[in-house]
Structure formats: C-alpha cells, structure tokens
Amino acid sequence: MIRASIPSPNQSLIEIGPLTIHFYALCIILGVIAASYIGNKRFVAYGGAHGVVSDVAIVAVPSGIIGGRVYHVLTSPDLYFGTGRDWKEAFYIWQGGLGIWGAISLGFLGAFLAYRRHPKKSLSFKFFADALAPGLLVAQAIGRWGNWFNKELFGRPLDAPWALEIPLRYRPVGYTNVETFHPVFLYESLWCLAIAILLVTQARRWNLAAGSIFALYVALYSCGRGVIETIRIDDANLILGIRLNVWTSVVLVIFSLLYLRRINTHRSSAIE
C-alpha cells in the first residue's frame, strides 16, 4: 500500500549516555563536511592548494552559524522576547532557526578574511567563492532535512502524496484541524540540489568570468527561495503585506544579476 503522505519523524534526537545528539545539528555537520569536500576538490581543480578550504572553514562555518542565528532572532523577535517567552532560547540553535541570509553574509565575510590571510592562497578570492558555491548548495540541501526532524518549515495545507504530516502540537494557530501541509523543506532541498547540478555541469560551458558561479548561486537560490517563501504560513515580519524574506530574495536577485552582468561585460571588453 502506497502511503498518502510524508510522515514526520517520531524523534529529533538520540541520547547516548550523557550525550544528546540532535538530528538538526547532525544535518548541519554533514552539510559542512559535504561543502568542504566538494569545495576542496573544485578549488584544487582550479589550481588552488589542497587544504585551504578546510582551513578557511574553521573561521567561515562558525561565522555563518552565528550570522544565521542573529538574522533569525532579529527577524523573529517575538519568538524569544515576546510575552511568556524565554530570551535564553535565542541561543538554542539545536531547536532550529538559522536565517540563510545571515549565514551566507557573515560566513562569506569570515571566509574572505580567512582566505586573504591564508599563507597558501594563490588564486583570487573569486575563484575560491566559485569553487565553494555548489558545495554550499549541497550543504543547504542536507541542512534542510534538519527542519524535517524538527517538524518545521512547512507551508499551506496540501492534500497530495508528497504532503507532509505535521503532529497537532506543531501546527500553527488556525490550522489545528489540518493534518498535511506543503513540505517546504523538501522543495528547498531539491531546488538547492538542482542548482548545484546545473552549476557543476553547465557553468564552464558558458565561459564566464571568475566570481560568476557564486553570483549565479545567489541569484538562482534567491529566486527559488522567494517563491517558496510565498507558500510558508509561519509567523514572519511583513513589509507592505509581503514577507521580509521575499523582499530580501528580490533584492539579492537584482544585485547578483547586476554584478554578474558587470564582471562579464568588463571581461568581454578586455578580450576585445
């Protein structure tokens, strides 16, 4: 018998003696490992030194996690500072809540500073960013499954074979009688994998300037994320009735495409 929907996991952690392993954190760790492995292989193929990616990750990963959490807390303050809330939960990263824009921004800054000071750097940072972009997408794809374990990141009600079952205690106010919803986490995970495959298999054929792959990563991911945001039903800050993350996505698409056009226009002029 084919199941009519996707079930939510029965547990989100494992306790081994005094050690508690949260699956959300495990997904993030697996994502970091995948991003480092893929990024290192691509960077070495570009002509960079082996091990530079993992060295830079020591700074970039914590920076990204901090940035992601800060963005999440700042854009969802009522979850931690509202009436009846415990502000200390703002530090409980294992419960979920990492804003990707904050993670990319601060992680990118940490990577830039660490790479610039690395003794083995031999290529422009643009090549480093291009090498890392597909791996970051794979990391995001893996990380989104942490939301599945936490029963979060789902969208409007849905009655379809790929709908996600959400237990009563995790359903938003006004949706307590609804059992299945859009699996937003799955949509984003698949979108990230699709972009990663596109960048790895097609980008070199386009003969783009250094930095273009990272710009395409930002543009394509933001485009999909903006659409996905319109499906979500969790509380969010609104500007003119539209979710903040939709506005952020639009801005990033515009700026990344402008940057992509600029660096490739300059490259064409130099060739001519």
Instruction: Please write the tens of the pLDDT for every residue from 110-126.
Output: 999 999 999 999 899 99
Instruction: Please write the tens of the pLDDT for every residue from 64-80.
Output: 989 888 888 877 777 77
Q: Taking 80 as the threshold, does the pLDDT of residue 84 lie above it?
A: no
Task: Say what the pTM is.
Answer: 0.89
Q: Are 143 and 31 in contact (CB under 8 A)?
A: yes
Q: How many angstroms separate the CA atoms of 31 and 119, rounded?
A: 26
Q: Taking 60 as the threshold, does the pLDDT of residue 152 lie above it?
A: yes
